[in-house]
Amino acid sequence: MAKTKSAYFCQSCGYESPKWLGKCPSCNQWNTFVEEVIDKGALHVPTWKSSSGTQRLNKPSKVEQIEATTEERTLTSDAELDRVLGGGLVAGSVILIGGEPGIGKSTLMLQLALNMPNKRILYISGEESEQQIKMRAERITNSPKADCYILTETATQNIFKQIEQLEPEIVIVDSIQTLHSAHIESTPGSVSQVRECTAELLRFAKETATPVFLIGHITKDGAIAGPKILEHMVDTVLQFEGDRHHIYRILRSIKNRFGATAELGIYAMQGNGLREVSNPSEILLSQRDEELSGITIGATLEGARPMLIETQALVSISAYGTPQRSATGFDIRRMNMLLAVLEKKCGFRLGVKDVFLNIAGGIKVEDPAIDLAIMAAIISSHEDISISSKICFAAEVGLSGEIRAVNRIEQRIAEAEKLGFEKIVVSNYNLKGVDRAKFKIQLITVSKIEEVFALLFG
């Protein structure tokens, strides 16, 4: 009878210990160790074998002797996904997609599988039945023409048997936390199971040059569930973000061995699936018939993509003893810092007022270049004076009230000009080396916050 051995694994980072520990020495988390049984008696035979049946022996080579080949990329039917991946799918790459429950990860992957008619795609689901996937496929497209196969299975041994028979060109796994290997006796979703199943799929992808998509769950803290080594093993890690109460979704690259992590894709969730948003600025800007106070437009960058977003602020007399501060889509601590600058440098008495801030469209902004737009919106609401919808802002504000320069100013100016804005307010330190002649939009340069409000409000 085969001997078994148990070990304790940290559910946060995957650290292994022969005995239970209260605090993980790797990630310093408390009470995260769980006992898992590992089969050490039987000989571990890989569940995936190359079709040739022979094992290639790798030998060391000098750098100058290695032939440099260009990466062959396969374009998908999703332009936003291709942009985030760096230009398309790389053969043999393993891509991990994480996101909140119900955000649209499975819809995105099924939509990809149904819209690639020239590729044989295997969609493996461990969470839904074939009938459920069929219902979702009919909702996404009425007449699927893709060469897409559905497999509802969780055992990796059975999965690889079907892969050897079908020989798919792309494999999608929904999700990695539902798979289990017979060589590990722990439950699906445990650290050892996730690590072992990912290693088997990684071995398959590299030996057959087949791209593999893995859908991953996330924890309540927003991190991808499972050991941290899971993110190190794969080639690309994508994060699908967005507010479930809004229609917009953002696909962001956290790690990419074959491209930059500065790109992002934007989608709109609709009844028939996810729709690509090629120009998000036009959607994020509301169409209003009259000028309203408390609304300004800021030029921000999401990754390497310039966007113009609408900033809404409401300042009112506090009805309670303690003034309220609320921010949606923006860091409330930074908002409090900007309010302190307004009181100190501009003399606005906001300490007894309620201040509410909202970034339109349900997106979250971390770019400091939106500081000036937020401050202008707050004062516009405080004074009840509207700001022209043809003016946008792109500048960071420092603690001493100075207007600081931001990066990629030419991209922000070009985006504002493309959308028909007449003026843009920037820092005067930002235009060194910028050719003003190539822009038709009027560039207003300021150096202090006092100059901005004297210019806007007289």
Q: How far apart are CA 93 and CA 206, in angstroms?
A: 7
Q: How far apart are CA 326 and CA 315, in angstroms?
A: 11
Phi (first) and psi of residue 25, to 5 degrees: -70, -10
Identity at 141, one-letter amino acid code: T
> Burial of 385 by CB count in 10 Å (0-12 exposed, 13-18 middle, 19+ buried)?
middle
Residue 55: the pLDDT is: 52
Directed axis angle between helix 130-140 and helix 105-114, to 10°?
A: 70
**Which stretches of the chain drop beneath a pLDDT of 50?**
1, 40-46, 50-54
What is the per-residue pLDDT across 6-39, written as a single tens digit (0 to 9) for each? 788 887 777 888 899 999 888 888 888 888 776 5
Residue 193: the pLDDT is: 87
Residue 143: the pLDDT is: 61
